[in-house]
Structure 1
Amino acid sequence: MTESRANDPRITLPSAPQPAPPFRFPVVAATVPIVASLAIWLITGSTFALIFAALGPLAATGSYIDSRVTARKKLRAEQARFSRDVSTTQSAIDAHHRRESCDLAERTPPAISLVRDVLTDSARWMREPRDVLPVHLGYGSVRSSLSLERTGAHDRVDASTDEHYQRLADHAARLEGAPIAVNARLGIAIFGNEPIALSLARALAIQLARTLSPTTSWVRFRGRLSAERWGSCLPHRVLRSDGGADAESWSHERASVHWGELGTDAPSASISVVSNEREVPSGHRIVIRVSGDMIAVVSHPDKHQRREFDPSFLGREQALVWALAAHEIAARDGLAISDGAVPDVVEFRQLLEQLGAVADSPSKRARSLCSRPAVGAKGRTVLDLVEHGPHAIVGGTTGSGKSELLISWVLAMAAETSPVDVTFLLVDFKGGSAFAHLAELPHTVGIITDLDETAASRAFASLRAELQHRERALAQAGVRDIAELGSLPRLVIVVDEFAAMMGDYPQLHALFSDIAARGRSLGVHLILCTQRPSGVVRDALLANADLRISLRVNNGADSSAVIGSDRAAELTAGAKGRAWVAHGSSSAELVQFALATPRDVITVARRWPTPSSPRRPWCEPLADTIPLAVVTELHDTLRRSTVPSASSASAESNALRAACNSNPERGAVVAFGLTDLPHEQRHGIAEWTPTSEGSVLMLGAPGSGKSVAIATFAAAISAPASAHPVPKVHLEAARKPVSGSAAGFRVVVGGLEPAGFWDTLAELHARLDGPEFPQLHNLPTLLAIDDLDVAISRFDDDYRVAALDRLARLLREGPAHHIWVVASAQRITPALQSVAQLIPNTLRLRFGSRQDFVLSGGVSADYASALPVGGGLWKGARVQIALSGTYPPDPVPAAAETLPSAENLVIGSSRLGATVAALTTAGWHVRTLEGAQGTERELLIADSDRPVALVGSIDEWQSRWGALALLRAHATVLLDGCTLSDYRQVARTRELPPPLSTGSGHYWRLIDGGADRVRLPS
């Protein structure tokens, strides 16, 4: 038999007595010796061998007798073992029944035991059941939860064994003399003998008084029970019937007691005593008949609960003893309902009328944040974040009034404390509408919502800097607590839906834990509101949040996580703003928070007419439009503020400063915008130092402000005065014109037209090998290229490779020759990959998608989809490019020398008609090569005084092998409308000529070593 464990409701039945195995006479064993003896006698002829024939039957007979004796002994042992196992099983059943009876008695003790246990503390009221209210009726036979298990060995048993099994099963199935409990929420009606019925009803009422908390329940007595003194001594709120419809519904002759939850008149448990079964009121599903010879449950939804029982009675004096003791305990722990009950609704206007003229009194440095936003049983409830906090946790399910509670609390603090002493940062992650009206308070420094992700990220980044700012303020003042400092207000951070905020910004856990740990001395307080604090608010926060408030929650675990008990789970759904408040080691208090209106906000705001706004814990967002003049002036002001004055600086520092100022190309700093530094609570100046940082690549979608940035860089870099101005004569003397120059830097703009862009690169590229004009060699130059990807894409394949090679060399070697590049592009195309790797700085403007931003080299977390024109990311910080109000110099046009009108020309053309017409208009005597008589040299001799232009197609000139080479000594050789392949065949060189723009009227002129670009005189 397997014994049952202490809490295991299963017991295995003892195995049945095992019968002895059947035994048959051993015929073979008896016959074999006889045969063997006969065989020996036949062989030996000795009659003595026949004696052995008798041994076989004798041995077999002895073995048979022995097995029968052994089987009888084993059967008697099995029967004895079975009897012992049955007795042991009986004892196990009895032990389990005793434990089961004790458990039932502990769950529903009789009323008489409650009277004896007068010193029970109020913890019993913190375990109120939700759906079932069990009450003890008395003692009787109930079904046991014990089950008996039978194994395969129990299948074949005899009648005697089966009878034992049946007796064990019958004994295990019922508990005799066990406590009987029923659910009082079903309603209990008792009829029959009135004194006995009243005693039983009294016992049931005392049990309900012990189970239901005085702070959440009411009781109403009627009939004979209302006249008993003990009812009015209960710590619960006792409702009195005063006639009307209620009196019509319930007969005053009927003795009854009804229990319900505060905030509703509907009873949750009813006990009624009537004369006969016909008078049982509706809603009472349990009916008990009481007579002199029998007391039984005659009606119950569960038919197994209909039974006779021995009732547990309670007298009036015994009930009074318990009621007085319970009231004393509840009063001691602050749970007794006083005459001044908690109101169902409180208007904030009423609280303001009781507040008095706080604004008329002089402002005092706030050593506390005392406020009175709620009303309890003893009057207005005082909440003080400094004394009771320093931080608070507010829990409550949807519709319980969390937002209304926070608004009333903030208004109450604002009504009693000056904005000089306290400011509010409101965080609403439910859309932002809850705190919208509180923006009118002079105390409010900001409202953060989940609708503006950028603003929320900036504000959260500034909070850590706010802690550092307050630490510095305390250190400078030489104090340890903000209460000793007169220049810094307390900051209360109110968060509605803390769980939603942590879901969007999980990195804030560390920040809020830091605020919780250091907030008391720094004057930063948290009010965190969420539906389920358990699992959302970490232990580091909970440990520093002594002030706990719980509105209605869904279950006892959520209530216990806030106030340490499950009382908040018992609050009714209709009581918005009803909450339990606990702080420190004090017991929780039931209060009703006031409900405020927008008019109340205006009233509170008018109490503090302040001339200026309080300091915000973060700087304002960057403006969408910033003039470059403002940035330049701010940059110059900051630079002057960091340079020692002439009187205080040493001669060495003055000399060093003068040397720096005399060399603007060395260490020049370009201020082109403002950066957003919320983690430092300030705006910075976006700077670029070409000499130390190198070139810049700007990337962004169309319309993101790339052209604006190019113009700003060009204007900003031209601002410093140059110690080496470029003489105008040298600029005019340059063979290839430049785009323009300004004081400090020479700005050259590369346009989208390939010919002009090629000339710009060629001019700067030539400076790398040796300047043609030394005056330009040391002049700092900025090459500005807008839409570099477009400009490169317009080149033919051969020119594109050459242009990229020249640009790459400029990026590598240009800084050593005072040349830097600022270029923009929509994206880094495959053609720009090699060039982009040589540009160390990237200014990322707005991109069309996060994928494009990441492909440009950005970090996904830094992507912002809603940036204004000129907004971007520079050196890891948000930047707004300033507007210069000017345009950069025009791009360099394609340079072409004008041909003298007196020169003879030899022209190879792929468009003979257009070429002949242009030359004729320009004044040349045109002769075509096709069909002409004479040598090419003779054709250049004109009959008139005009110069001769000998024109032929490329094929004709190639057919006259060597003619062009001979004519170059006597005339200027031009190519018009030819391809690069035609040029290479005619010029017999692999060098690239300068590209020609379509429709420009430019020609290639063959010169020694290649070709240049010319045009006809107009």
Structure 2
Amino acid sequence: MPDSNFNRPPRLRPRWSVETIDLPAPPPPPSPRPNTVWLQALLPIIAALLFGATALIGYGSWLAAVPALVLAVLSGGVTLFHEHDTARRQAQTYAEQQAVFVDRLTMARSRLRRLHEEERAARRYLAPDPVELLRIAGADERSRSPEPRLWERRLSDDDALELRVGCGTLPASARAVVASGAPADRRIDQVIAEYASLHQVPVYIPLLQLGSLGIAGPRPAVLGLAYAMLTQAAVLHAPTELRIGVIAGLATAADWQWIARLPHCQAPDATSVARSLIATEPQATESLLTCLLDELSRRRELPTNHQVPFLIVVDSATLITTHTALGQLLRDGGAHRFIVVVLTDDWSHIPEHCAAMVEVDQRMGRWTRAGEAWPVTPFQPDLLDRREVERLAARLATVRLNEIGAGHHLPRQVRLLDLLSALLPDDQPVPVRWQQQPAMSWHDDVPIGALSEGKPCYLNLNEQQHGPHGIIAGATGAGKSVLLQTIITALAVTHGPDRLNLLLIDFKGGAALAPFAAWPHTTGFVTDLDGRLAARAIAAISSELRRRKAVLRTVAERYGVHIENIADYRDLANRQRLEPLPNLLIVLDEFDEMARSCPDFVSALVRVVKQGRSLGVHLLIATQQPARVVSDEIRSQLSYFIALRLGSSDDSREMLQRPDAAFLPSQLPGRAYMRSGSDVRLLQVARLSGQANGPGDLELIGQRLIHAGRAYLDQLNWQPTPIWQPPLPSRLTLDVPSSDLHTVIGLLDIPQQSRQAPLVIDLRAGHVAVFGGPASGKSTTLARIVLELARCLSPDNLWCYIIDGDGRLLSLFTDLPHVGALVRPFEREAMVSLFRQLEHQVRERRARIAAGQSPGPALLLVVDRLAAVRDELRDAAGESDLSDLVRLARNGRDAGFHLVVSADRPADIPYRLAAQFTQRLALRLPDLNDYADVFGLRPAIQLPPHLPGRGYWLHPDEGLLEVQVALPVGSGDSSDSRELALAVRTQIAALTATTRNTATTLPPPLALLPEQLPFAQLPPSSYRDTTLRLSCGWAAEPPGPVYICLTPEAPHALIVGPRRSGKSTALWIIVRSAQTVEPSLRFVIIDGPRRSLHHLQTLPQTVRYVADEEGIATLSAELSGLRRNPTARHLVIIDDYHLCRERWRDHFTQSYSATPNLFQQLVELAQTGNEPFHLIVAAGITYADDPLLRALDSSRNGLVIWPGRYESGTRLLGLNLPLPEQRTSEQPPGRAILISGDEEPVLIQLAGGDHIKS
């Protein structure tokens, strides 16, 4: 019989009603009448008779009793009549209720009968008997062709693999019930019993649910039942949805020869399961079991809902013990749709792992599940003989199922290189189709596989054909990666790089797309996509769209034509020889992972694709689960769908609008459906073969295309525009030279322009702030700036000062000739001195600029970790004073001063200072909102923590862009601080060697106060122009000696300081230095109780030395005489004034006697100041009630020693103490502040007292 094609129509499936029929309750019988009715009738008569007897006795006559007797008779008669009438009516009512009950019961019985007949017919239809099965298959003696019911069951049906084993009795779906409490009635019991069960209906076993079955009994009956079950399985289930196999011994092989002709027993190929599923020899059995176990192992990783079931018949239970693989299949296969049916002669021989068992003979059978008892009611088994099943197998062998879009003889394997061989001739260096312009946008014969009879299947991306955007989908192992490679390869072979560009995006590692990265068509290869790279990819694609729009707009304006799309451009390009504008195919692999992890990227991509349709931008996405990720927005853009084997019917319906792709054979990778519009075709995807000992097809084609692409592009004198630049490296070295104050510090990523450019900081454009959390690369960035400037500028052109808050990398710059000083924040005094020295230099520069002169070398201050500076300058109230730095930043820019600062977070820089920074770099910050504080913009994605040097830069046109800061030197590893430090140290040494000897000027070092100053180094004091200048110490800003100046306006001085701060030493210095002044200068010394100045009494100029109360009294009497001597100038020195006041109170307090005491004379001297007398008083602290100290304090002339030791709020000599730069700082002996009227206070170091004593 010739083969015939069979179309499987949609299934028609009868249903039966599942109802509960309420039976009527029988009427209750009439209640029995009372038996006293005769007594009720006789009582009046008896009473009348008694009355008559009484009348007869009393009156001697019956006449008086006659009326009573008549009434009694009438009363009894009425009673009897009423009782009889009541009984008659009750009997009539009961008869009527019985009639209604019988009618309702008859109606219920009729409904139950119809329901039973309906269910019985439906069950017999759904589970046909063997005769009906042969007729359905067209295998009976009268049928010539199969009926439409052939292979009607689908795996998605709830009765899939429910196989009939015979006819028997089953509980009926329709139930008859009677209301509770209804009286018992035999007729109701008969109806309930009659319709409780269905008789002679199919008894079936749910094999797909059970997973295994044992059949036991005499050999003829077991074989007959097995034949009947296999016949039912083969007739009702298509070969694509059920595989049938038999494992038997040589002795029983003849019983199974017929089954080999069933199409269900033939594997689609020989790659994973044996060609035939029939094994009757030991070697064949082992081979088949090996293949089945391999398939079982593969299925463990796949969803089970749509795996094609295997129905394996094992003829003889002894084979289970002989082949251990069978035991494993029996034990584990059920969960993965491997159904094992074991045949044996007795149910006690059935293996223990069988989920159910059947015991059968020629007349009856019974079945039960494991763990349950045998049923009481048997069934009549279905039995077929070998002649009938052979006829069935012969008929089914000629039937071919029509699959969607396919004819027959679809090849099992197709090699892409065979389809492309004519397009890649060996004698031509360039593929044939590269030199042939397509009639439309694309060539229409791009082979991707084969249809029936081996005809090529072509992909046509032209708008009128398959369309520009498509999707391919396939489960794991279905061949999705192969299909993706096939499409890309076929397109690349048929279109040159001037016609096709590729942008390849893979969310994961990119293994499937990596071979194409070096092809001439590829303008971008994106892999390991995360949130940051996804945004970058969208920016790059959008940039390409803008470029294409600009090309079309520019050409239209140049030639005065209207260009709407890429086709119009190409028409003009062919006439005017314009540059090529290739189609851009964006390929996205692992789209489902991308959609879950980067939903914003998918939405943005759809928007871009909508815009790019007319610009030649095409999209091809690949996914495993399209039903989960293909939204309505995406679906509306797709025009062709290629579905390999899918994991669910929902996925298949998403791709094909029907579930067929879910049932493609798992053993045929590359079998797929292709839908475009309403046209659906079945194809075998072409594959790229691999070689065990050499390059595979893909590598060979790639090598040819790479070589051909070079020659072809050279011939065109044109190169494709790259769309995707590689991501910024995690470690960057740059050898881009800086110039003047333009410093190249890193690489800026500009995906909007598809390029990366050096990041240049122009110090002339403003101050620079670098923000970043711990280990983000701030110090490295500052080191890069300083080293780059040092490379291009000599110390003649750049002076640099550094405040190193980190104490690591920048500390190496001490030896760099350009660096004048490197200060640590905890060196508060040095830091403040640096600020003031820089302010002094700025003032000088501004003066030179005002005079029309050059300001001199650029002045650079680098501050690493400003928070450390703020903390060091914090006062007791917690406030930090950065006013010096703010002044420098604000006033120094026009004078060539440049500030570069790093901070851990934006809050570390106060607003007044932050406003001075016009160039800002933000490395990784702890919170996204921190970036908004820096730039006013909040990035969408946080920078990764493992990339030091990665940051954001605000581009004037493109907004926030990522930047990677380069290492300070071209070698060294940023992750190894020691290696980087060594490389920086080497570079600094090289710069030092080349610049120190050639530089004519070096930055002035920081003038710090010495911790000790020998008295011999002090210059002599002097007296000139009525000013007595007493040398006492050394200042740092500007560096040089300092003097206490006694003038007519400020003739006196006050020295204050804490206990043991060196006040007496200061007086020694002043007196000794005053020895060099004019000879007429005389000393009057009032020493305190400690006699600290007793060495000075031997000096020639000392005219009075007092240290006790008697001497003070004498001096008080002589002081008036000394004041009257105008020829001599006197210095009145008082030490330990606060002790003198306590010890000699009578002489150091206000006296109201007629003769003024010493205190009054001193106050008068301090207040007048027009005499040749000068008071210099040393005190611990001023007293508000002391007129002398108050007068001296108001003169604002003197010294404050150890100015950091005072409590907050102290005011001495018009100065609020402690000064910010002196708070909580450790101060060496002799550190003081010199105050001279309205001049700026000066921090000085007093000369040492040890030298004086010696």
The reply to whether residue 1003 of structure 1 matches residue 1249 of structure 2 is: no
What does 1:787-806 correspond to in 2, within 5 Å? Answer: 787-797=865-875, 801=879, 803=881
The reply to whether residue 162 of structure 1 matches residue 242 of structure 2 is: no
How far apart are 1:20 and its partner, in Å?
4.9
Q: Please say which of residues 415-424 and 222-231 is displaced more in the overlay.
A: 222-231
Distance 1:633 1:1009 in 2: 42
How far apart are 1:341 and its partner, in Å?
3.9
CA deviation profile, 1:767-822 (whole Å, cap 9, x unmatched): 999x9969679999998754332212112416974725787899999999999986
CA deviation profile, 1:808-846 (whole Å, cap 9, x unmatched): 8999999999999864321355x8666588679794623
Distance 1:916 1:804 in 2: 35
Distance 1:318 1:167 in 2: 41
How far apart are 1:1012 and its partner, in Å?
0.7
Structure 1's unaligned 5+ residue stretches are 252-259, 275-281, 289-293, 636-669, 720-725, 729-746
How far apart are 1:500 and its partner, in Å?
0.8
For the residue of structure 2 that corresponds to 1:507, the secondary structure is helix
Distance 2:1211 2:767 in 1: 40
How far apart are 1:962 and its partner, in Å?
5.4
- 2:189 partner letter: D
- 1:898 partner letter: G
8 Å CA contact retained: 2:469, 2:639 = yes
Structure 2 residue aligned with 1:827, among 905, 909, 920?
905
* TM-score (structure 1 length as normaliser): 0.68
How far apart are 1:449 and its partner, in Å?
2.7
The reply to whether residue 605 of structure 1 matches residue 706 of structure 2 is: no
Distance 1:131 1:838 in 2: 74
8 Å CA contact retained: 1:349, 1:600 = yes
- 1:987 partner letter: L
8 Å CA contact retained: 2:640, 2:676 = yes
- 1:700 partner letter: G
Distance 2:277 2:91 in 1: 87
Partner residue in 2 for 1:987: 1213
Partner residue in 2 for 1:403: 481
Relative distance call for 1:633 and 1:776 in structure 2 (3 A) is: closer
What does 1:65-76 correspond to in 2, within 5 Å? Answer: 65=84, 67-76=86-95
Structure 2 residue aligned with 1:459, among 533, 537, 541?
537
What does 1:614-625 correspond to in 2, within 5 Å? Answer: 614-622=720-728
How far apart are 1:565 and its partner, in Å?
3.7
For the residue of structure 2 that corresponds to 1:85, the secondary structure is helix
Relative distance call for 1:390 and 1:120 in structure 2 (3 A) is: farther
Distance 1:205 1:604 in 2: 51
Structure 1 residue aligned with 2:650, among 557, 560, 582?
557
Relative distance call for 1:18 and 1:30 in structure 2 (3 A) is: same
Structure 2's unaligned 5+ residue stretches are 1-13, 52-63, 247-252, 285-291, 297-307, 317-325, 327-339, 346-360, 370-374, 556-561, 574-579, 714-718, 792-796, 800-819, 970-987, 992-1001, 1008-1035, 1047-1052, 1076-1084, 1104-1128, 1140-1177, 1248-1254
CA deviation profile, 1:1-25 (whole Å, cap 9, x unmatched): xxxx985413223122130573665
Q: Please say which of residues 787-796 and 679-688 is displaced more in the overlay.
A: 679-688
How far apart are 1:225 and its partner, in Å?
11
The reply to whether residue 877 of structure 1 matches residue 961 of structure 2 is: yes
8 Å CA contact retained: 1:381, 1:591 = no
Partner residue in 2 for 1:307: 380
Partner residue in 1 for 2:525: 447
8 Å CA contact retained: 2:241, 2:663 = no
Q: Please say which of residues 469-478 and 421-430 is displaced more in the overlay.
A: 469-478
- 2:175 partner letter: L
Distance 1:421 1:25 in 2: 114
For the residue of structure 1 that corresponds to 2:520, the secondary structure is coil
How far apart are 1:501 and its partner, in Å?
0.6
For the residue of structure 2 that corresponds to 1:553, the secondary structure is coil
Relative distance call for 1:295 and 1:902 in structure 2 (3 A) is: closer
- 2:873 partner letter: F
- 2:620 partner letter: I
8 Å CA contact retained: 2:411, 2:450 = no
Distance 2:1004 2:83 in 1: 131
Q: Please say which of residues 885-894 and 146-155 is displaced more in the overlay.
A: 885-894
How far apart are 1:174 and its partner, in Å?
0.8
Partner residue in 1 for 2:1115: none
Structure 2 residue aligned with 1:864, among 926, 931, 943?
943
**Between Structure 1 and Structure 2, whose CA radius of gyration is higher?**
2
Partner residue in 2 for 1:255: none
Structure 1 residue aligned with 2:198, among 168, 174, 187?
174
- 1:460 partner letter: I
The reply to whether residue 700 of structure 1 matches residue 700 of structure 2 is: no
Distance 1:51 1:947 in 2: 176
How far apart are 1:506 and its partner, in Å?
0.7
What does 1:770-781 correspond to in 2, within 5 Å? Answer: none
8 Å CA contact retained: 2:673, 2:680 = no
Partner residue in 1 for 2:924: 847
CA deviation profile, 1:935-991 (whole Å, cap 9, x unmatched): 99x989962899989685685544795556677899962222243449945426547
For the residue of structure 2 that corresponds to 1:871, the secondary structure is strand
Distance 1:633 1:818 in 2: 13
What does 1:894-909 correspond to in 2, within 5 Å? Answer: 895-896=1037-1038, 898-900=1040-1042, 907-909=1055-1057
Structure 2 residue aligned with 1:382, among 457, 479, 484?
457
Structure 1 residue aligned with 2:238, among 209, 212, 216?
212
Partner residue in 2 for 1:1015: 1244
Relative distance call for 1:69 and 1:335 in structure 2 (3 A) is: farther
Distance 1:804 1:151 in 2: 98
Distance 1:388 1:193 in 2: 59
- 2:238 partner letter: L
Relative distance call for 1:312 and 1:205 in structure 2 (3 A) is: same
8 Å CA contact retained: 2:674, 2:681 = yes
Relative distance call for 1:83 and 1:872 in structure 2 (3 A) is: same
Distance 2:737 2:466 in 1: 49
% identity of equivalent residues: 20
Distance 1:399 1:528 in 2: 17
How far apart are 1:422 and its partner, in Å?
2.2
Relative distance call for 1:533 and 1:52 in structure 2 (3 A) is: farther
- 1:161 partner letter: I
Distance 2:1130 2:783 in 1: 48
Structure 1 residue aligned with 2:175, among 131, 134, 148?
148
CA deviation profile, 1:474-515 (whole Å, cap 9, x unmatched): 454554454563612222233222111111111123234335
CA deviation profile, 1:288-310 (whole Å, cap 9, x unmatched): 9xxxxx98675767777841569
8 Å CA contact retained: 1:138, 1:311 = no
8 Å CA contact retained: 1:23, 1:67 = no
The reply to whether residue 523 of structure 1 matches residue 620 of structure 2 is: no
Aligned length: 910
CA deviation profile, 1:721-772 (whole Å, cap 9, x unmatched): xxxxx9x9xxxxxxxxxxxxxxxxxx99998454566578889999999x99
The reply to whether residue 539 of structure 1 matches residue 768 of structure 2 is: no
Relative distance call for 1:1010 and 1:628 in structure 2 (3 A) is: farther
Distance 2:628 2:530 in 1: 27
8 Å CA contact retained: 2:431, 2:493 = no
For the residue of structure 1 that corresponds to 2:586, the secondary structure is strand
How far apart are 1:85 and its partner, in Å?
2.3
Relative distance call for 1:178 and 1:606 in structure 2 (3 A) is: closer
Distance 1:837 1:58 in 2: 128
Partner residue in 1 for 2:435: 363
Relative distance call for 1:528 and 1:840 in structure 2 (3 A) is: same
- 1:13 partner letter: D
8 Å CA contact retained: 1:628, 1:672 = no
Relative distance call for 1:618 and 1:317 in structure 2 (3 A) is: closer
8 Å CA contact retained: 1:786, 1:825 = yes
Partner residue in 2 for 1:256: none
What does 1:161-310 correspond to in 2, within 5 Å? Answer: 161-169=188-196, 173-176=197-200, 208=234, 211-213=237-239, 268=310, 298=365, 306-307=379-380
Partner residue in 2 for 1:254: none
Distance 1:948 1:688 in 2: 61
Distance 2:869 2:145 in 1: 96
Structure 1 residue aligned with 2:28, among 3, 11, 19?
19
